[in-house]
Amino acid sequence: MTEPNLPSRSPGHARASTAGQPFAATLLRLLTWLSPAFPTGAYAHSHGIEWAVESRDIRDAATLLIWLGDVLRHGAGRSDTILMRHAYRADTLDALTDLAELAAAAQPGRERRAESLGQGGAFTLAAAVWGSPLLATLADRVGAPGIAYPVALGALARAHGVDEDAAALGLLHAFTANLVSAAVRLVPLGQTAGLRVLAALEPVQHEVAAATLTATLDDLGGACFRSDIAAMRHETQHTRLFRT
């Protein structure tokens, strides 16, 4: 198979256009890819929140806000954004392959690994509608266990000229919104309470997007141990509505 060329990156993060395409046009694609309706199966994952609710770590909007703020700053929110940015910037298919393998190996537990790789695989298949030879080639190269979701998003965003910073902020928002939606169903919370949490986390998403702009792969890692334990405990939780 002929390897597709990786598109060049335009300098800076200009909003008027990216890689010669109007920002509004690429924004539409990004909104589609990160929509809850995009078939990645994200709705089936709680990222350990189901166990956190059962253990009473999360019991209302206030405790959910604290939990998600930590996950964004010190957990998968930060790490996934770093991975997405480096996938976006990868200048060779070899570098992208190495990053996909690192992302798969860096997951802290079985369910977290299944969550990221499962969504990444579904994202890759659905993205074929827009034409994604790079992702198809990467999937063939990596084989099992597959491409982690943030790596797939970063590669596709660059291939279609989507602004890197917009993709980073979009990833953080979609991740946060999905977990808020899970908590609304699990705690349970009212829709308005969930929206208040989502609104309160907007500054945190901007903070993490800015902090990851200059992060290297050596900065991968986290200190969100309770969230990691929650994901591991969920594997043997007696009653489960979510896959993770």
Confidence check: pLDDT of 132 > 90: no
The predicted structure's pLDDT at residue 127: 93
Convert the pLDDT of each residue in 174-228 to its tens digit.
999 999 999 999 999 999 999 999 999 999 999 999 999 999 999 999 899 999 9
The predicted structure's pLDDT at residue 8: 55
Coil, helix or strand at residue 244: coil
The predicted structure's pLDDT at residue 93: 94
Convert the pLDDT of each residue in 190-200 to its tens digit.
999 999 999 99
- Report the C-alpha gap between 19 and 135 in whole angstroms: 19
Residue closest to 33 by CA, chosen among 210, 164, 153: 153
- Report the C-alpha gap between 174 and 184 in whole angstroms: 15
As a whole number, mean pLDDT of residues 101-127 equals: 93
Q: What is the DSSP string of 145-214?
A: T---HHHHHHHHHHHTT--HHHHHHHHHHHHHHHHHHHHHHHTT--HHHHHHHHHHTHHHHHHHHHHTTT
- Report the C-alpha gap between 171 and 149 in whole angstroms: 10
Helix (H) or strand (E) holding 18: strand 17-18
- Report the C-alpha gap between 121 and 102 in whole angstroms: 16
Q: For residue 33, what are its two tokens?
A: 């890819």
Coil, helix or strand at residue 225: helix
Mean pLDDT for all residues in the chain: 90
The predicted structure's pLDDT at residue 14: 39
Torsion 167-152-178-80 (CA) sign: negative
As a whole number, mean pLDDT of residues 114-135 equals: 92
Statement: 21-34+41-234 belongs to CATH 1.10.4190.10: yes
- Report the C-alpha gap between 153 and 32 in whole angstroms: 12
Residue closest to 170 by CA, chosen among 125, 115, 216, 209: 209
The predicted structure's pLDDT at residue 161: 93
Confidence check: pLDDT of 11 > 70: no
- Report the C-alpha gap between 153 and 101 in whole angstroms: 15
- Report the C-alpha gap between 48 and 114 in whole angstroms: 12
Q: Is 235 exposed, middle or buried (0-12, 13-18, 19+ CB in 10 A)?
A: middle
**How far is the first Cα of the chain from the last one, in angstroms, to the nearest whole number?**
36
